[in-house]
Amino acid sequence: MNFDNRPIGVFDSGIGGLTVLKHLVALMPQEHFIYLGDTARVPYGNKSAETVQLYSRQCAAFLREHDVKLIVVACNTASALALEDLRQSQSIPVIGVIDPAARSAVASTRNGHIGVIGTRATITSRAYEHSIMQHVQGTAPKIHSVTCPLFVPLVEEGWLHSDATTFIAREYLRTLVDAHIDTLVLGCTHYPMLAPVLSTIVPDAELIDCGQCAASEAQSLVKPCTPTDQHGTIHAYVTDQTPAFTALAESFLGFPIGIPERVVIDGPDERKATS
């Protein structure tokens, strides 16, 4: 048998990636994980591609220092804007959350109407459209994409079931309801927390959790740890100790992970000032 006891590295702009880590741990409980949340610079969703690429390279470099066997980019914005850049610069496998979810959406739809919701950066990048179209065989589905920038702050406020959240979600999803989508890609790692509200608005649509899809792909890519009857370890790091991370981590992950260690990852800035 062929085993690899190195940890799996996971990074996100903040806390959202914990919903991805949750599925990774559920699927591969014996693996060791290094999680990095770039909480000093969160969110990535409203920043430029160049800036997201720089921050992603710094996150990946930190994970490599921990000798990881795989990097999971557990952030839709970074997956949309920085994945190719990371793959070119890394000698280990790097997976994002978009391609696995796109494949799952194509397999799920029956009527050919797929909804995609995400941050402005993710939706503007059209990464889901491109990825879905690559997986299509036969008739191309109609993809209905909507930016939902208020969902992340609503989740981080813990307003998961408030009337305001339902009101805003109805506004955002209006065109998707009208289009009779039967599949809704939750294109942001925060959005699974809103699944109960979203289900009431599009009750007939299958919700695609990008973290769940990415976990399956990760499992298929790495050699497993040597089998034991022990659970693996999780080491969590953040770039800023913020109240939100500590308060929300358990609800995002499903179990407590204690206080993460703060680290500094922003090395020399490779960007040049431009006018």
Active-site residue set? 75, 188
261 in contact with a copy of itself (CB under 8 A): yes
Distant-in-sequence, close-in-space partners of 220: CB < 8 Å, separation ≥ 6: none
Nearer to a copy of itself, 94 or 121 (CB): 121
Among 88, 139, 203, 269, binds a copy of itself (CB under 8 A): 269
Cα separation of the two ends of the chain: 56
- The first and second tokens of residue 273, run together, are 């000032």
Contact status: 4 vs a copy of itself (CB under 8 A): no
Question: Strands 142-147, 70-73: parallel, antiparallel or unpaired by DSSP?
Answer: unpaired
User: Exposure pattern of 234-262 as b/e (b: 16+ CB <10 Å)?
Assistant: bebbbbeebeebeebbeebbeeebeebee
Q: Which stretch binds a copy of itself (CB under 8 A): 64-72, 125-133, 160-168, 214-222?
A: 160-168
By the rule CB under 8 A, 272 interacts with a copy of itself: yes
The Cα 102–Cα 155 span in angstroms is 23
Q: Which two tokens stand for residue 2?
A: 């062929």
What does the per-residue mask of binding to a copy of itself show for 214-253, with x meaning CB under 8 A?
Answer: --------------------------xxxxx---------
Residues that bind a copy of itself in the complex, under the rule CB under 8 A? 39-42, 46-48, 51, 120, 124, 149-150, 152-154, 156-157, 159, 162-164, 167-168, 171, 240-244, 261-264, 266, 268-269, 271-275
